Structure 1
Amino acid sequence: MMMRDLHDEELRALLTFRERHGRRWKAALLLRWSAGADLDEPGSPHLRRLRNIGGPRWLLGLSVAALDDAAARLAGGIDWELVATFLENATGFARGAAASLDMAPARAAHSLAIAIELGLKAYLLQAGYADDWNRIHIRHDLEKALAHATDTGLLGVPKELPDLAAILSPAYSRHQIDALFRGGVSPFDLVDACGCVERLLVSVRAQIAQADPDAPSVSSHGNKRGIADP
């Protein structure tokens, strides 16, 4: 049976073990698994679960690159100020889109794409995804951001969002939103899209508040400090 993807808690346990035991950490973990001594290690329940479902063959085949990538993604703590900034600006761009529907539909669509990106990345930041990892691995791919967010536990995703992201993402990632509106025809209903993005941000905001009630409050008024990187 193919080994499933590792949970973040399991990855953290492996990374901590690797840091504690150095270059021959796999041999050290195999020895502890065989002797039952892994129970004395940080994250021992996760290490024991990996022993039971993965075993020695899986461990020996685990690549250095996979763990290094996980280390980069999980680096550091949660930057709650950045979470608040991203969500604040997502809200601002969503409101800007709603205000420019009739005058500049392509601009409104671009603002919606930015709002989706920043909203999803705000959620990923509070879930432990490092901003640098998001910038390198997700960039402006709205479908990938949505997949990571839902895999990480985002609830209440509007049912229309996957289709909207699928339309916007290819053009948005290549800075070609205007091409979607050539000929004066919109590829989706912009009013419905604004409502979809607003519901997404409501869900993200609620889960961020639930994750840490003591985190800096997230304003509903947008500014330009967290504009998505070019």
Structure 2
Amino acid sequence: MSRVIRRPMDGADRYLAPVFRDNAATFVSGVEEIAQAHPQEAAHMTAIAMELALKSRLLASGVSDDWNRRHLRHDLTKALRCARQAGLIEPPAGMAAVAALFTPYYANHEFGRFPSSLFTAADWRHAAGLVRAVIGGPS
């Protein structure tokens, strides 16, 4: 049984949702270009894009930016769970696994320790496609 997380829903920060979404799209657009030469940077860009995409959905629903910042921070697994519990998205298959893989490094500002060997070129395309699905763009 999952517990419902209560969030402030005053909607004052809804104007930030398209900014976060556009920034997510910018980060994810460069992932495939750099994945082969710079896999660790590509992983980091994917994590940033995923965070922005999920927070964009939450902002659009009326959740405050301050709540996102204080309660979610950079925890991609928690952000995905909150967006799903709020009914904002049905995560694409595989997104929870990618979030779980990134979160220990990303949430703790330790992406320098992310093992770049964890992804193949196909995985990068898949991870980027997952983020695009959340953004609402073509995968």
Task: Identify whether the pair has TM-score above 0.5, normalized to the shorter chain.
Answer: yes
Q: Given that residues 40 and 112 in structure 2 are in contact (C-alpha distance below 8 angstroms), is that contact kept between their aligned partners in structure 1?
A: yes
Q: Shift of the alpha carbon at 1:190?
A: 4.7
> Structure 1 length as normaliser, TM-score?
0.53
Aligned to 1:195: 126
Please say which structure displays the higher CA radius of gyration: 1
**Cα deviation digits, residues 94-149 of structure 1 (max 9, x gap):** 11212111111000000000000000000011122110011001000000000001
Residue 122 (structure 1) aligned with residue 53 (structure 2): no
Tell me the distance in 1 between the aligned counterparts of 2:69 and 2:122.
29
> Structure 2 length as normaliser, TM-score?
0.84
**Cα deviation digits, residues 21-72 of structure 1 (max 9, x gap):** xxxxxxxxxxxxxxxxxxxxxxxxxxxxxxxxxxxxxxxxxxxxxxxxx5xx
**CA distance 1:180–1:138, shift in 2 (3 Å):** same
Residue 84 (structure 1) aligned with residue 15 (structure 2): no
Aligned to 1:97: 31
**CA distance 1:190–1:120, shift in 2 (3 Å):** farther
**CA distance 1:202–1:112, shift in 2 (3 Å):** same
Give 5+ residue unaligned stretches, structure 1: 8-69, 207-219, 221-230
Aligned length: 138
Q: Given that residues 90 and 116 in structure 1 are in contact (C-alpha distance below 8 angstroms), is that contact kept between their aligned partners in structure 2?
A: yes
**CA distance 1:176–1:194, shift in 2 (3 Å):** farther
**Cα deviation digits, residues 135-165 of structure 1 (max 9, x gap):** 0010000000000011011334221111111
Aligned to 1:180: 114
Aligned to 1:106: 40
Aligned to 1:209: none
Give 5+ residue unaligned stretches, structure 2: none
Q: 1:169 aligns with which of 96, 103, 111?
A: 103
Alignment of 1:1-230 (within 5 A): 70=6, 73-74=7-8, 76-181=10-115, 186-205=117-136
**Structure 1 stretches of 4+ moved >6 Å:** none
